[in-house]
Amino acid sequence: MNLRNRLRKLEKTKRQAASEADCICFPPEEPPYLELKAEIEAAKAVQCPLHGERFKGMAPTVYRVIGLPAHLDRARWSWCSPQYIKAMDASFPPDRWPAKKIVEPDGTVRFVLKDDTEIHRLAPPPEILEYETTTTPVQGPASR
């Protein structure tokens, strides 16, 4: 391989690396882990400047009570790849996100975007005012 071919190959590699730096796609082996409809819609709305659609499907989830929306739970991202973190950051434009946590006087927790759109609400658990047990005597086999 002569010097000219080596230089072309090096330039091609450099251009490819520079273009990949602009990519905001989720890695194929790490689909987005989003559960709230507003978060999913926001992530789908952002297109990669190089590839267009940034992901095929969502990560599988198990039904659970959502205590903190995924876009606010940066501790969960710590085990993910740098490309995943970059894609998550790009998914939520700063003109609307992040949501603000508002705790109402009755204990209700709401998550509201900067444009006043409510994306999630957690109702407080019902208050138990009194708990009463009744005891009934249990008859064993010998007392019958």
pLDDT of the chain along its 144 residues, tens only?
687 777 677 666 665 555 567 899 999 999 999 999 999 999 999 999 988 899 988 888 878 788 889 989 888 888 899 999 999 999 998 899 999 999 999 889 999 999 999 999 998 877 777 767 776 666 766 655
Does some domain include residue 3? no
pLDDT of residue 3: 75
Residue 141 lies in a domain: no
Q: Is residue 59 part of a domain?
A: yes
Would residue 105 count as lying in a domain?
A: no
Q: CA 40, CA 25: separation in Å to the nearest integer? A: 14
Residue 1, in any domain of the structure: no
Q: What is the signed CA dihedral for 83, 77, 109, 113, rounded to 10 degrees?
A: -10
In a domain, 31, yes or no: yes
Q: Is residue 125 part of a domain?
A: no
Query: How many domains does the chain fold into?
Result: 1
Question: Is residue 138 a part of any domain in this protein?
Answer: no
DSSP structure class, residue 52? B
> Could you tell me the residue range of the domain that residue 80 belongs to?
11-94
Neighbours of 30 (CB within 10 A): 16
131 phi/psi in degrees, rounded to 5: -125, 120
C-alpha closest to that of 40 among 29, 21, 51, 26: 26
Q: What is the pLDDT of residue 140?
A: 62
